[in-house]
C-alpha cells in the first residue's frame, strides 16, 4: 500500500521535472540578453569566434601536437584571423608564451579541473617566474588552469615570487580558468582584460599590476603564507597618476579562504580597486585595506567597496581612506563598459 501510493506520487513529479527541464533548455541565450544564472561555456565562445581553423593538442598523442607551446609556434606570425588551439585534458608541464606577433588565439581547454598548464619556478623577477605569458592582443582562454607549483610561502625560505600568469596585452579574456600559486599569482600587467567565473588563489599581492580589468563572478581563495607575520593582500594595484586609466574591478564573486587578508594594499599612489556586490568571509580583515610598506599619502588611493556582504564586509573598522561607494559612484564600474568590452569581447555577463 505504502509502495503503490509513493509510486503514484512519483509520476507527476517526473512530469514536472521534464517540463522544467524543457523550459530550461529552450530558453534563448542571445549575446546580450544574459541573466545572472547563465554561463558562458565553450560551445558559446566557439560559436561567437566562428572560425574553421583549429589546432588540436593532446598530451597522449591524439592531436597535431603534444605540447601547447608547439601549437602556439605553429600559429603564423602576424596572424589576423581567429585560431583555436584546443587543448585536451591533461597536465601539460611546460611554460607557455604567446608572443605579441600572434594575436587572435583562442586557447580552449576542456575545463579548469581537466586541462592544466603547470610549471614550478620562483624568482625575484616576476616575468621570469611566470608559467604562462600572453603578450598578444585578442587572446581568449577557456577552461584551463594555470599553475606555478614553486614552493613559495614556506616558512624560512626565500622571498621569491612565483607568477602563474603574466597578462601583458590589450583585449585579453579568461573564461572559467584557474590561477594557482601563492605569492604574486596573477600579474595583470597592462591592457584591458575580462575574467569571468575564474578561480584565483594566493597569499600575498596575488592580483597585481597596472591592468584595467573586470573580474566578474570570480572566486578569490586566500591561503596562508608562512614566511611573514604581516598579512597579505588580494590586490596590489599600481596605478601611478590621476590620468592613468587602470584599475581592478570585482563584480559579484567571493573572497574567502584561510588566514587573514586585506582586499588591497597601496602600491601606486593612485591605486584603484573596486569590490562590488562581493561576498567577503571572515578572512577579510576588519581594516579591509592597508598602506603597508607604502611611504606616500593616502589621499589619492581609490580603495572602494560597493554593496558587499558577508562577515568580512563590516564597515566599522575600515582604513580611514577606504571608500564605500554610492550607487551613482559605482555605476561606471558595474559592467564591461569600464573596459569597452562591447567592442572586443566575444561574450560577457
Ligand atoms: C574557412 O573559412 C574561410 C572563410 O570563411 C573560407 O574561405 C575557407 O575556405 C574555409 N576553409 C575550410 C578548410 O573550410
Ligand atoms: C630565487 O630566485 C633566484 C633568481 O631570481 C634564484 O636564483 C633562486 O634559486 C630562487 N630561490 C628559490 C628558493 O627558488
Ligand atoms: C597608514 O595607515 C595607518 C592606519 O590606517 C594610518 O594611521 C597612517 O596615517 C597611514 N599612513 C599615511 C602616510 O597616511
Q: What is the pTM of this model?
A: 0.88
Place of cell 580603495: 303
Characterize the bridge pairing of strands 279-280 and 254-257: parallel
Q: What pLDDT sits at residue 224?
A: 80
Residue 2 pLDDT more than 60?
no
Reported as a single tens digit per residue, the pLDDT across 162-171 is: 999 999 999 9
- CA of 100 from ligand 1 middle (Å) equals 25
Distance CA 282, CA 73 (A): 45
Q: How confident is the model at residue 156 (pLDDT cuts 50, 70, 90)?
A: low
Catalytic residue among 170, 188, 196, 205: 205
Residue 33: pLDDT over 60: no
Any ligand 2 atom below 6 A from CB of 158: yes
Give yes or no for residue 18 having a pLDDT over 70.
no
Angle at 323 between CA 319 and CA 328, to 5 degrees: 170
Pairing of strands 272-276, 279-280: unpaired
- The answer to whether 205 is a known catalytic residue is yes
pLDDT per position as a tens digit, 166-217: 999 999 999 999 999 988 999 999 999 999 999 999 988 899 999 999 999 9
Which residue has cell 571608500?
A: 323
Is pLDDT above 50 for 9?
no
How far does the centroid of ligand 3 lie from the alpha carbon of residue 296, in Å?
9
The ligand with the least distance to the CA atom of 52 is 1
Sign, Cα dihedral of 235, 209, 129, 65 = positive
Closest residue CA from atom 10 of ligand 2: 123
- Expressed in angstroms and rounded, the spacing between residue 121 Cα and the centre of ligand 2 is 8
For ligand 2, is residue 160 a contact (CB within 6 Å)?
yes
Of all ligands present, the nearest one to the C-alpha of 149 is 2
Q: What pLDDT score does 61 carry? A: 97
Q: Is 281 helix (H, G, I), strand (E, B) or coil?
A: coil
Mean model confidence pLDDT for the chain: 89
Identify the residue whose C-alpha is closest to ligand 3 atom 12: 297
pLDDT score recorded for residue 23: 44
Q: How confident is the model at residue 283 (pLDDT cuts 50, 70, 90)?
A: very high
297 lines ligand 3 (CB under 6 A): yes
Query: Residue 13: is its pLDDT beyond 50?
Result: no
Cell readout for 111 is 575545463
SS3 percent helix, strand, coil of the chain, rounded to 5, is 15, 35, 50
- Gap from CA of 123 to ligand 2 centroid (Å): 5
- Closest ligand to C-alpha of residue 54 is 1
* In the chain, % of residues over pLDDT 90: 79
Q: How far apart are the first and last CA of the chain?
A: 51
- Calculate how far, in angstroms, residue 291's C-alpha sits from the geometric centre of ligand 3: 7
The domains located in the chain, with CATH, are 51-343 (2.160.20.10)
Mean pLDDT of 311-322: 97
Residue that has been written with the C-alpha cell 588551439 in this structure? 85
No. of helices (H) and no. of strands (E), the chain: 5, 27
Nearest ligand 3 atom to alpha carbon 319: 5
Amino acid at each position: 500500500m505504502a509502495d503503490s501510493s509513493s509510486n503514484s506520487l512519483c509520476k507527476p513529479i517526473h512530469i514536472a521535472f521534464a517540463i522544467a527541464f524543457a523550459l530550461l533548455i529552450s530558453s534563448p541565450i542571445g549575446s546580450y540578453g544574459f541573466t545572472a544564472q547563465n554561463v558562458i561555456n565553450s560551445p558559446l565562445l566557439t560559436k561567437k569566434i566562428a572560425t574553421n581553423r583549429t589546432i588540436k593538442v593532446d598530451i597522449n598523442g591524439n592531436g597535431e601536437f603534444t605540447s601547447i607551446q608547439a601549437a602556439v609556434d605553429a600559429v603564423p606570425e602576424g596572424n589576423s584571423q581567429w585560431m583555436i588551439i584546443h587543448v585536451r585534458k591533461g597536465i601539460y608541464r611546460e611554460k607557455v608564451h604567446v608572443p605579441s606577433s600572434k594575436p587572435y588565439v583562442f586557447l580552449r581547454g576542456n575545463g579548469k579541473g581537466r586541462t592544466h598548464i603547470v610549471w614550478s619556478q620562483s624568482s625575484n623577477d616576476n616575468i621570469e617566474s611566470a608559467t604562462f605569458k600572453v603578450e598578444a592582443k585578442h587572446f581568449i582562454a577557456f577552461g584551463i588552469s594555470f599553475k606555478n607549483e614553486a614552493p613559495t610561502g614556506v616558512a624560512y625560505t626565500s622571498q621569491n615570487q612565483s607568477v602563474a600568469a603574466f597578462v601583458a596585452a590589450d583585449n585579453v579574456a579568461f573564461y572559467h580558468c584557474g590561477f594557482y600559486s601563492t605569492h604574486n599569482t596573477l600579474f595583470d600587467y597592462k591592457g584591458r582584460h575580462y575574467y569571468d567565473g575564474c578561480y584565483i588563489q594566493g597569499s600575498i599581492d596575488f592580483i597585481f599590476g597596472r591592468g584595467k580589468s573586470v573580474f566578474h563572478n570570480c572566486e578569490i581563495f586566500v591561503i596562508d603564507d608562512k614566511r611573514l607575520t604581516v598579512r597579505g593582500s588580494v590586490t596590489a594595484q599600481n596605478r601611478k597618476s590621476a590620468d592613468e586609466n587602470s584599475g581592478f574591478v570585482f563584480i559579484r564573486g567571493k573572497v574567502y579562504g584561510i588566514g587573514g587578508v586585506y582586499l588591497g594594499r597601496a602600491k601606486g599612489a593612485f591605486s584603484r580597486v573596486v569590490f562590488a556586490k562581493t561576498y567577503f568571509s571572515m578572512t577579510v580583515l576588519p581594516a579591509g585595506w592597508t598602506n603597508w610598506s607604502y611611504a606616500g599619502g593616502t589621499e589619492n588611493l581609490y580603495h572602494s567597496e560597493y554593496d558587499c556582504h558577508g562577515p568580512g564586509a563590516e564597515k566599522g573598522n575600515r582604513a580611514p581612506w577606504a571608500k564605500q561607494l554610492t550607487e551613482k559612484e559605482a555605476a561606471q564600474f558595474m559592467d564591461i563598459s569600464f573596459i569597452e568590452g562591447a567592442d572586443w569581447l566575444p561574450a560577457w555577463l
